[in-house]
Chain A
Amino acid sequence: MGLKALVGTEVATEIEAQIPQSVISSDATGVLVESRSIAGAMRFLKDNPEFDFNYLNNLTAVDYYEYFEVVYNLTSMKNKQTLQIKTRVCSRENPEIPSVSNLWRGADYQEREVFDLMGIRFSGHPDLRRIALWEGFEGHPQRKDFL
């Protein structure tokens, strides 16, 4: 009873078979994917009936000094399973990754929040601007080097 958290290593082989050289690593809890392949990997996870991840629970980012890690939590309502996918963005001056808001509209506000507080740009986002802080605010407060 309950949702099954998919083992990252098993999912990684499927993603790698679909999109070669996209998976960096995986462990029991999730998969780490290359930032330039994230849009393709997400589309595969959403459309493939074995995975069928139709619901995006959570989209957030963490600042690890050398890189930013963007974390996605997905749920498949039909297959009753969950998965955690991560990707890394290595630039601090100009971090940018593809947006997934065309796959799940719920990513819209969450990506705006990540842009506002962490400064990561999402290419392909329909309306990327600050959401919690006011226009004209300088800086990205959630970063570790802000204050």
Chain B
Amino acid sequence: MALKTELVTLNMGPHHPSTHGVFRMRVTLDGEMVREVEPVFGYLHRGLEKLAEGRTYTQIIPFTDRLDYVSSMQCNWGYCLAVEKMAGIEVTERAEYIRVIVSELQRIINHTLAIGFFISDLGAMQTPLLLAWREREKLVDLFEMICGQRLLYNYVRIGGVSHDLPPEFMPALEKFMEEFPFYMSEFEDLLKGNEIVRARTIGTGAISAEKAISYSMSGPCLRAAGVDWDLRRDNPYGIYDRFKFNVATGTNGDNWDRYRVRIEESMQSYSIVQQAMSQIPEGPVMVKVPNLLRLPEGDAYAAIEAPKGEQGFYIVSDGSIAPYRWHVRSPDFINLGALREMTVGSMIADLIATLASIDICLGSVDR
């Protein structure tokens, strides 16, 4: 007797432990095989771009915290870069070094979070997650020392940074830097050779380099597909041209490559922080910027290499104290465009793993 089968459309989310925020997918399944994936989001859409039109340039900085809330320092910097580009403001040396140090530490924070949740979504429950977060906790304590906040920092400002590093910061950072390599090797020993991690991630969620470029992917997702493109090296901003670092790339663009690229990037960030710590000069951390800053008329687009990819800001100014138009180019919003390409034809378990490996943050996707 022939078995009657039919396609089942399942709704995943928006409340779901594996969707990394309020994210919904309508998945059409043929047994375990995914035939169609339709991402539905907008549950965290707060209209930040519209709200920004009524606020001064300094008042928009807390909005940038709440875009990609796991990498707030980078979002602050990306926005301040666009404003400083339009206003022609130059930042002091010490502020540039502080920006690099906090941004690379932020990259380590973001990647430990991304890798932790990725391995957790493979079924490892919370153990690797909390093991990764042990180091993140030390970094978040360091950030609390600088600006008083653990998650949404509002620290990188137009013209520099808001507070100088307190005297206890450098010794605490040195202590972290001593412990981190041992921690990384311990984490690697536990997971890199793990059969289950390898079987679940090698070959799943693959995307080719041409497709990744066509989908405007950026960050670790693009580099894992084999495209050697990193804005810190290819279009340097701040003082990134003073540091020596390697750009990690993968070959197949699968989940395993994205995981390896993030691990390697964390080690490169460690190296950049070491170099910055040895070169950082004394001096002021903020230049004189008017309270009600007015930008000259015109528009500009500036982008940084945020942990999730190319975080860009497009600002249109009409000469007044608030922007005429403020647009955020979110890396994970655009990376999500390729989700369907990467998951149709695979199993539903691979869908969960692939979604985790893209590393989305709904604050940035929805704005």
Bind each other:
yes
Contacts of B217 in A (CB 8 A): 106
Determine the chain B residues whose CB is within 8 A of the CB of A113 once the complex forms: 333
Contact of A29 among B215, B298, B336, B367 (CB under 8 A): B298
Residues in B neighbouring A80, C-beta threshold 8 A: 234
The interface size bin for chain A is 20 to 34
Segment of A17-25, A53-61, A91-99 engaged in the interface with chain B: A53-61
- Does B245 make an interface contact (CB < 8 A)? no
Chain B binding surface, main DSSP class: mixed
Q: Is the CB of A57 within 8 A of B301?
A: yes
Question: Is B227's CB under 8 angstroms from A77's CB?
Answer: yes
> A60 and B314: CB pair below 8 A?
yes
* CB-CB nearest in chain A for B367: A132
Q: Check B327 for interface membership: any CB of A closer than 8 A.
A: yes
In the bound assembly, the distance between CA atoms of A53 and B60 in angstroms comes to 32
- Nearest residue, chain A, Cβ from B310: A57
Which chain A residues border B338 with CB–CB below 8 Å?
Answer: 105
Is B325 an interface residue, CB under 8 A from the partner? Answer: yes
Chain B CB within 8 A of A44 CB:
no
Chain A nearest CB: distance from B209 CB in Å?
A: 10
Q: Which A residue's beta carbon lies closest to that of B301? A: A73
Q: Is B316 an interface residue (CB 8 A)?
A: yes
- A141 to B236 alpha-carbon distance, docked (Å): 35
* In the complex, residue of chain A having the shortest beta-carbon distance to the beta carbon of B227: A77
What residues make up the interface of A, taking CB atoms closer than 8 Å to B? Answer: 1-3, 29, 54-58, 60, 62-63, 71, 73, 77, 80, 84, 104-110, 113, 117, 130-134, 141-142
Q: Can you list 11 contacts pairing A with B, beta carbon distance less than 8 Å?
A: A2-B234, A2-B235, A55-B216, A62-B316, A71-B299, A80-B234, A104-B216, A109-B336, A131-B41, A132-B41, A141-B50
The 4 closest A-B pairs by CB, nearest first: A106-B216, A132-B42, A132-B45, A3-B235
